[in-house]
Structure 1
């Protein structure tokens, strides 16, 4: 879970504010139910700013625009900066297609709509992805491709792909996937902005894991 704690550590060490999409409040509410922890998580406390779709902010001298990209989760976001867009877990590399949409709060149809919005960006926009698992036969990791490259070659959403075909392909694939290792642990830290739960009476921190819901 160390990567999930980066936000809190960076804020503590640098004093820089942290931010996330405003739909984190809905995600927190969803997972309170799954964990049976009705008082857990307070995004307004743990994040300095909650971004809405269309918001913008400065990163040094750079202007960044926020675009809600739901589907993989209900709060996924794309950040657009100049000719670059950081597309989170929406697209993979063209030879791998797109991200899954079967997590709680996810939606294959919403992911399709988000992908179409991303692919409507200028063709030379460089799309930086969140994960690359490597397609069959490719050994070297990749992390970016242009909108034009995805439109031409993405195995799930290239031009000419019908929405209903995409949904069928994505849902068939998702039905074969298991829950990612440690996801149920890491979420409890992510939803606290990278903070551990409050220490208990023995001074230690504990995570709660449902054993029969997933």
Structure 2
């Protein structure tokens, strides 16, 4: 995992210090957002390492976040999810447990948008997850437009459905952590073909972001490097997106965007970590209840082709 330099915005009394941490295996940006005056902080979209070939879980990436918290003397009040991710496992439950130990029992709350309950029911039924393992898994279900404090900072919940129906963002000062709503300008936007996803809804969410003042920074949930751009970039300004975003610049209309997004989504393969990610993430990062032999098991749906089954 690599870290960008912390970004401190002004004025310090209203703007956070932002530490961005990139996880290259899944192309995920994670964030620690801190108030330097009070040393209170939040963590956004943390990653739990999972090797699909060996089914091994590890905490290297999450432990690097803990080291960054410790190096800055932060007390973490909340762990925030923008949505139920389908491409990586969340480290929220692991971090909550470790931070409670490190903070003398001060247990950060795991938070997500209120529409998570519908997503949990859909994927709980799909994978046979017992209701008691996901119901109440998140400590706080956030309302659209809700505001809460982190030290001297104010965080506002911004509904951003489209990529998934439960998707939200977090506005802190002149910064929005938009999850998978917008990617880097040369990538455009995220897919919308998951259950409850909607390209039309994502268009409206993107317009909401692009109507913000042009100096506001939009911090993305993912970036994918290429030969043309070898260094991942965590944020661009609203001005950058208005001028350069591959899917929204130059006055693209909703019908145009929907047609292009749906055509693109129809060609995409499912995320490599889809089944493991969804089953763990609807549990807020907690593992399935162990069997009598002490094994934590996930379900893998089979695709049956041909006749005779």
Shared fold (TM-score, shorter chain, > 0.5): yes
d(CA) in 2 for partners of 1:6, 1:135? 27
CA contact (8 A) 1:96 1:135 kept: no
Aligned positions of 1:29-40 closer than 5 A: 29-37=121-129, 39=131
d(CA) in 1 for partners of 2:289, 2:252? 48
d(CA) in 2 for partners of 1:105, 1:21? 15
The aligned counterpart of 1:180 is: 271
Instruction: Please give the TM-score of this superposition, normalised by the length of structure 1.
Output: 0.93
User: Deviation of residue 59 (structure 1)?
Assistant: 2.1
The aligned counterpart of 2:117 is: 25
The aligned counterpart of 1:11 is: 96
Provide the secondary structure at the position in 1 that maps to 2:286. Answer: coil
The aligned counterpart of 1:199 is: 290
d(CA) in 2 for partners of 1:47, 1:41? 11
d(CA) in 2 for partners of 1:196, 1:178? 26
Provide the secondary structure at the position in 2 that maps to 1:78. Answer: strand
The aligned counterpart of 2:184 is: 93
Q: Identify unmatched segments of 5+ residues in structure 2.
A: 1-46, 50-88, 100-106, 305-309
Q: Identify unmatched segments of 5+ residues in structure 1.
A: none
Provide the secondary structure at the position in 1 that maps to 2:215. Answer: coil
Provide the secondary structure at the position in 2 that maps to 1:181. Answer: coil
Compared CA separation, residues 74 and 40, structure 1 to 2 (3 A): farther
Instruction: Please give the TM-score of this superposition, normalised by the length of structure 2.
Output: 0.65
The aligned counterpart of 2:10 is: none
Matched, 1:161 2:252: yes
User: Deviation of residue 2 (structure 1)?
Assistant: 2.2
Between 1 and 2, higher relative CO (CA 8 Å, sep ≥ 6) is seen in: 1
Provide the secondary structure at the position in 2 that maps to 1:127. Answer: strand
Matched, 1:130 2:215: no
The two structures, once aligned, show a CA RMSD in angstroms of 1.7
More helix by share: 1
d(CA) in 1 for partners of 2:122, 2:128? 10
CA contact (8 A) 1:68 1:78 kept: yes
More strand by share: 2
Question: Alpha-carbon deviations, 1:120-148, whole Å to 9, x = none?
Answer: 11111100001111366222211110011
